[in-house]
Structure 1
């Protein structure tokens, strides 16, 4: 019973087993059929479904395993199906990325600059300016220096830049997404731009090909161009382009220019500390330049050294051994000839109609004389208490052909690049008086003729002499030598202001008649204009146009301009008139107000000048074929001292003029002046009486000279030309 019962129970528990043997169907008795109600088709379907569900719920583990195998069999190969799904997704993503890339190219890729010739891709022309001896006096535009090859540089030089600018340079494709994300996180956390995500390739694009505009459009273009450059050039080539293009401050573009500018070395000769200084400049060239703030430059260089240690470029011991003594000095580069370089560039632009390409400009500048002149000015300023730091200076020296040998436009170009020698319009004071005496000589006066130096009033105007002292009756030569105001005004009114203005214009000063104050130099002129007007006084009456450029060449050596000396010069003053005039001008230096302007071994002639209230102090003159003008004054036009303790042309300007001319005349043979011998005149007594009475005595007017020397030689100048040449 028990076993039977157990088997029956076991059979009952295994009714749903898939391994049970099918039992023969039991026949139902008629009574049973009668007892069981008939089900509709719908009811039978529900019952069948319920039975199936019950069987699934009560299925055994073996049945489930069998179902899994059937399912796996119907699925085929699962690895192939997974691979297919991955391939489908990857293809779809690639398609959309390609489509996005094409759209980006269409939107941002139009108008991109070419990247085929990065070696010549420059934003501004480079202009190199040479002195007469071939030495460089200035580089304007972008001084990129000579191109260098990164492969030739020492590892510590290359490592200094890679450690701070792009450590993964040799491992990315031009754009570094990791660096961009890292920089973004740092900047968001700091609330400021403290770190950049641009690669060296992107910086190269920014320096050479695009504008500095900060916009999404420009950033996308930068990335596109970086990718193009990486596909076209090797890493060493890209690094070389970068080091040749980046800005290091003080006008230096490129590593060679920076090495020369700051350390007077080739890039291959840079020490570890010097390389760190230059690499540190890239963050902020003007702020970290050693010439601007040496302490900031050293602090920044130490940051670079730490980065080099961290990147494995140098060891910690090597970094500690770096010394920053004699960090950098570019004082010699910014010497006084920088003003001449600026003027030469401006003249080149005028001659060529603009500067559109790299140029080499050869000038007339005497660099040794310019340097000596600048040094002499510093010496005079140090010992003259009236020469305060606010007082500026200018000097210019020309030869009789008009070539500019010295041009100094201020005390220190680094502090002020304003070129006072060619741009500052100032009152010449008594340096204008030679034009009055020259007019008188043309009108028939002679140096020994007398003029009355006494108080003079013209309307409401009553000018005074220096210290309000008067000399009475004096010869014209003495009146000019002592720079007597009353005598000069009286002579000007006697010969006629219109004639004074006319002869000044003839000599090159384009002025109008301001009234009687003209005799005191109340017109405004630049030092260059005054020197140009003095040129005929030294050069036998011949007018010459000042020039500073002898030759302009393109980068390939093609000559674009060559200066030609005028073959038929214009004669502005008769040489006969200049003989007594020269005598009077030499008297100023020998016995008059310009005694400090004497030049050892040369006959100097010139005139002091001091404007009202000592706002300007001048000395202008010539010696042995050179004309020089120096000026001192304040940019704000305030007086230089007051009363008897005021700056005048007879002191610091005359002394500086002597030094400037001495340096300029080095090696130039001394020129002997034509002697002047006073001649007895029958009308001398009449002249004296006329001067006393204030009446103009009749004189034989010599008049202006003929148009040019060739007309005199050919005889086409007419009878008025007689007597101009022996």
Structure 2
């Protein structure tokens, strides 16, 4: 019996020695493979993105955030002691793994039935944070212990505590005590008080549960526990503990409220298109004005009807986004209604109807008739069911007469109205049914605001943007915005006339609630059954669009564009333009010479914009096309306008091999009248005209019976 006991003991000793030898070998191997101290300092958990407002103020930090690296001596003693007291009271007495701490944890487990006290040392936590995952498996715990022993052999206690305090996660994306101090208290960790150090030390156990910004009461309760442990372990005296008033500690204020996240959610995906792939920390500098963002948030929250949502987009004259609100509360709903939601614009869509009409030759003073009309079986009605009879275009727009908008759309063509909307930046699908003139096609708030901004820019395109530059954390420039190239969407006189209409709509029409004590131009929009309310307008170089409604598109009692949305617009704009000079609008229309001519043909476009079509309406060139379908000019045989007409036979060529002349599209007298040309050759041309009429009596048809039609205007903004 004794022999077997002896064998078992010897075997146990041998196995134990083997295990110890294997452990020492594992620790030695791990120690030699560990990175250097400088390499561990440089390692980070992921990319940090810090977003700045226009004034340089930090508004959001996305991803892990690392503050300034603090050496052991720079870290306040109270911070070091607080962390040791709550996380590893025997930190200076163990070699990376604490058998006493493990035994204590097991005893608590037996007594309570749950692990209420962790057995991991600060060194083990550091090993896990740097090298391992958080999976609670035996294999991971074994590797964690080996790494902790190796770390203790390679580095000093001071180095380990320095690494830990600069790398441990404190919630809110903050890694390290300096980042946490700046996040929660708005100052560096070198200035931490005892109470603040206790709050930060208490976060390690459960960062989200004890975050002072998420639950201040829970954070204070946890900090009280830390202070008690510090007193129990002799780090502070009872008097020092009693002097700490956790309730008086001030937290970092929220500058942009939660609504700023709507803006950053729209901005950050754009980095994928403007930056090369990079994983280093970056800083993004934007156009957001913190004061305007606060005013926009307050305007939406104060005016949105109960149960309804609201959205606002405000941009400067160059397209810089100054404020963006995507809903009444980002925490409750992060859906960005300013950039993503598609809603019917109602009468705000009439902007494009009247732009098309003004471009076609109507003016604000043109007489129209407000009367019942039916177009392809559709009969629009005015709000209130009243008809004013003969009025001018200005009054029809100011009072949002639906019947007049329908007639204008029918006159210029519903496809022309759709083309105008696309020209001004509407990217959503557009219907060309007659009802489209009243806003049946859904749009985004940011797109419609952009269109109004283009009118304010005298007909030039406006490209919304938010990012001005991107740098690395060290200041290296990665991206800098260049001014976008403007396109002339409509002639300046058209934009001036449209501004005239928009200004009247605010001064005397449906948008009176949007008045702010200085010139404002804008338009209301209300959809059927009060499902959507809009107001969009501009003043002193700032264009702002407001939408309100329910996400489920149900009726909102009393909601109209001229009520809550217009009031929200006014509340915001009073703040937004307060420091800007008052600007009068340029509404005097300087019409081109051709439009001032009495000839009826002048109202259909510039007389130079003509081309030939065949009897089926297909466009063709007078001299046919080349091998690639390109226009081929006739050979230059010396013939000039005014010479006797050429003639010939056989394959369309004359005896001298030249191409027969096509009759001119229009006569020279017409061109003189339309373009204002007058020269000494007019009498001779008229004589030649008479001679040519005798040979070619039909001056309004081209070769082979082609008729002359007007060339449509180019959609330069599409």
Structure 2 residue aligned with 1:404: 321
- C-alpha separation in 1, matches of 2:85 and 2:515: 61
The structure-2 alpha-carbon separation of the partners of 1:194 and 1:591, relative to structure 1 and needing over 3 Å to count, comes to same
Q: What residue ranges of structure 2 are gaps of 5+ in the alignment? A: 1-8, 610-710
The structure-2 alpha-carbon separation of the partners of 1:99 and 1:263, relative to structure 1 and needing over 3 Å to count, comes to closer
> Which of 536, 554, 558 lines up with 1:638 in the alignment?
554
Aligned length: 601
Structure 1 residue aligned with 2:476: 558
1:294 corresponds to 2:216:
yes
1:604 corresponds to 2:526:
no
Q: Residues 121-158 of structure 1, C-alpha deviation per residue, up to 9 Å, x if partnerless?
A: 22221111112211112111112233333432333322
Structure 1 residue aligned with 2:98: 176
Structure 1 residue aligned with 2:260: 337
The structure-2 alpha-carbon separation of the partners of 1:640 and 1:96, relative to structure 1 and needing over 3 Å to count, comes to same
SS in structure 2 of the partner of residue 494 of structure 1: helix
> Which of 546, 556, 562 lines up with 1:650 in the alignment?
562
Structure 1 residue aligned with 2:542: 626
SS in structure 2 of the partner of residue 608 of structure 1: strand
Shift of 1:703: 7.7
8 Å CA contact retained: 2:299, 2:571: yes
- C-alpha separation in 2, matches of 1:159 and 1:593: 67
Shift of 1:424: 2.3
Q: Residues 618-660 of structure 1, C-alpha deviation per residue, up to 9 Å, x if partnerless?
A: 211222332211222333433322xxxx122212221222233
Shift of 1:268: 3.3
The structure-2 alpha-carbon separation of the partners of 1:329 and 1:583, relative to structure 1 and needing over 3 Å to count, comes to same
Structure 2 residue aligned with 1:314: 236
8 Å CA contact retained: 1:109, 1:224: no
- C-alpha separation in 2, matches of 1:523 and 1:560: 40
SS in structure 1 of the partner of residue 163 of structure 2: helix
The structure-2 alpha-carbon separation of the partners of 1:634 and 1:199, relative to structure 1 and needing over 3 Å to count, comes to farther
Out of 275-284 and 114-123, give the one that drifted further: 114-123
Q: Which has the larger radius of gyration?
A: 1
Structure 2 residue aligned with 1:668: 580
Out of 118-127 and 152-161, give the one that drifted further: 152-161
- C-alpha separation in 2, matches of 1:407 and 1:549: 14
Shift of 1:586: 0.7
- C-alpha separation in 1, matches of 2:531 and 2:503: 26
SS in structure 1 of the partner of residue 219 of structure 2: helix
Structure 2 residue aligned with 1:526: 444
- C-alpha separation in 2, matches of 1:590 and 1:530: 21
8 Å CA contact retained: 2:342, 2:442: yes
8 Å CA contact retained: 2:79, 2:197: yes
The structure-2 alpha-carbon separation of the partners of 1:639 and 1:330, relative to structure 1 and needing over 3 Å to count, comes to farther
Q: Residues 499-522 of structure 1, C-alpha deviation per residue, up to 9 Å, x if partnerless?
A: 111011111112321623322223
- C-alpha separation in 1, matches of 2:157 and 2:310: 52
- C-alpha separation in 2, matches of 1:89 and 1:223: 23
Shift of 1:606: 1.0
> Which of 321, 334, 351 lines up with 1:417 in the alignment?
334
8 Å CA contact retained: 1:435, 1:504: yes
Shift of 1:587: 0.6
1:485 corresponds to 2:388:
no
Q: Residues 415-461 of structure 1, C-alpha deviation per residue, up to 9 Å, x if partnerless?
A: 44333222222222222111111011112112122333344555675
Structure 2 residue aligned with 1:691: none
- C-alpha separation in 1, matches of 2:431 and 2:567: 32
- C-alpha separation in 2, matches of 1:439 and 1:180: 80
Structure 2 residue aligned with 1:583: 500
Q: Residues 523-571 of structure 1, C-alpha deviation per residue, up to 9 Å, x if partnerless?
A: 22222111222232111222132211111112232211111113x4222
SS in structure 1 of the partner of residue 339 of structure 2: helix
1:465 corresponds to 2:387:
no
Shift of 1:395: 1.9
The structure-2 alpha-carbon separation of the partners of 1:516 and 1:216, relative to structure 1 and needing over 3 Å to count, comes to farther
- C-alpha separation in 2, matches of 1:373 and 1:675: 29
1:613 corresponds to 2:529:
yes
> Which of 343, 347, 352 lines up with 2:275 in the alignment?
352
Out of 133-142 and 498-507, give the one that drifted further: 133-142
- C-alpha separation in 1, matches of 2:32 and 2:268: 36
SS in structure 2 of the partner of residue 223 of structure 1: helix
Structure 2 residue aligned with 1:251: 173
SS in structure 2 of the partner of residue 146 of structure 1: coil
Structure number with higher helix proportion: 1
Shift of 1:102: 4.8
Structure 2 residue aligned with 1:19: none
The structure-2 alpha-carbon separation of the partners of 1:703 and 1:614, relative to structure 1 and needing over 3 Å to count, comes to farther
- C-alpha separation in 2, matches of 1:608 and 1:399: 20
Structure 2 residue aligned with 1:62: none
Shift of 1:600: 3.1
8 Å CA contact retained: 1:395, 1:407: yes
Shift of 1:462: 4.9
- C-alpha separation in 2, matches of 1:703 and 1:213: 75
Q: TM-score, with normalisation over the residues of structure 1?
A: 0.75
Q: TM-score, with normalisation over the residues of structure 2?
A: 0.75
SS in structure 1 of the partner of residue 404 of structure 2: helix
Out of 513-522 and 88-97, give the one that drifted further: 88-97
Shift of 1:573: 1.1
1:147 corresponds to 2:69:
yes
8 Å CA contact retained: 1:364, 1:405: yes
Q: Residues 463-491 of structure 1, C-alpha deviation per residue, up to 9 Å, x if partnerless?
A: 54334444343322212211223332332
Mapping of 1:680-719 within 5 angstroms?
700-702=603-605
8 Å CA contact retained: 2:27, 2:146: no
- C-alpha separation in 2, matches of 1:354 and 1:131: 24
Mapping of 1:21-40 within 5 angstroms?
none
Structure 2 residue aligned with 1:547: 465
Mapping of 1:493-508 within 5 angstroms?
493-508=410-425
The structure-2 alpha-carbon separation of the partners of 1:229 and 1:350, relative to structure 1 and needing over 3 Å to count, comes to farther
SS in structure 2 of the partner of residue 287 of structure 1: coil
The structure-2 alpha-carbon separation of the partners of 1:678 and 1:87, relative to structure 1 and needing over 3 Å to count, comes to closer
1:569 corresponds to 2:486:
yes
Q: Residues 649-692 of structure 1, C-alpha deviation per residue, up to 9 Å, x if partnerless?
A: 2122212222333333344333332243799x9x99x9xxxxxx
Shift of 1:313: 1.7
The structure-2 alpha-carbon separation of the partners of 1:703 and 1:666, relative to structure 1 and needing over 3 Å to count, comes to farther
Mapping of 1:59-458 within 5 angstroms?
93-99=16-22, 102=25, 117-335=39-257, 336-352=259-275, 356-378=279-301, 380-381=302-303, 387-388=305-306, 390-457=307-374
SS in structure 2 of the partner of residue 541 of structure 1: coil
